[in-house]
Structure 1
């Protein structure tokens, strides 16, 4: 699955990172607690979250996450967008709630990875 596929499945909007739409996404992680994301040890993942602060982008960078999807229509501020651009991370937003967004991706074959 690609970032573009994630965008389509979730009826999402791209905030930044259009150049990364063809990047492969192998697994997904849905969390609002960044400690949970740190326990999730897969790379080339998409992170679904309702948390909107710079720590989300920093955590995503550490975990080699290629795309962050903000659920419930949340939108990051300019500082977060700038940080994501610097780190090469695509940012998307969707109106779906976390549970629904994860379910839609799962239904289309995207799975979560094992925690370490």
Structure 2
């Protein structure tokens, strides 16, 4: 049975995203798992075309940051959410993942294969 989790984000999280990639990275590469999960959920709102948020100024850096999170995070939920963002809103190539795939836990390798082979 999977454990359920409740994640939410605030206006403060949205403001953090609007401050730029360095502020997003500070959270996603930090040590506070709950904060990371909130930021990833907030990024879903920004990346979803339905909400018409213009993140073109950070798009490429954000894709690279999400790849870095996937290869470096130690929390399964964080890795899973970052993979979900890339799977939902981006297309390969993902060179950071391709070059560092061996750093990603085995339990995510099927998802990574799918991510790298999407068209």
* TM-score of the aligned structures, taking structure 1 as reference length: 0.31
Larger relative strand fraction: 1
TM-score (norm 2): 0.31
Larger Rg: 2
Larger RCO (CA under 8 A, 6+ residues apart): 1
